[in-house]
């Protein structure tokens, strides 16, 4: 059991790293893109905007 927990922790560290808020923001942005595209509207602008915002917010947190 502890091996499973350690493996899950290693995968989490490998994928998410030390900034889970950014990973969560990426998932939310992808969901928003899917919703807007599904409604038939142009959705290409969501991800670039989200990437810039997530990077700026992550830097602000790190710089504090």
Which residues lie near other proteins (CB under 8 A)?
Answer: 15-19, 22-23, 26-27, 29-31, 33-34, 36-38, 42-44, 46-48, 51-52, 54-56, 58-59, 62-63
The nearest distance, CB 43 to other proteins, in angstroms, is 4
Q: Which residues of 11-48 are buried (b: 16+ CB within 10 A; e: fewer)?
A: eeeeeeeeeeebeebeeebeeebeeeeeeeeeeeebee
* Residue nearer to other proteins on the CB measure, 1 or 3: 3
* Residue nearer to other proteins on the CB measure, 1 or 18: 18
Q: What is the rounded distance in angstroms from the CA atom of residue 25 to the CA atom of residue 19?
A: 10
């Amino acid at each position: 059991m502890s091996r499973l927990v350690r493996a899950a922790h290693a995968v989490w560290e490998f994928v998410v790293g030390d900034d889970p808020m950014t990973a969560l923001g990426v998932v939310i942005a992808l969901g928003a893109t899917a919703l807007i595209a599904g409604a038939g509207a142009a959705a290409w602008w969501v991800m670039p905007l989200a990437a810039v915002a997530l990077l700026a917010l992550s830097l602000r947190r790190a710089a504090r």
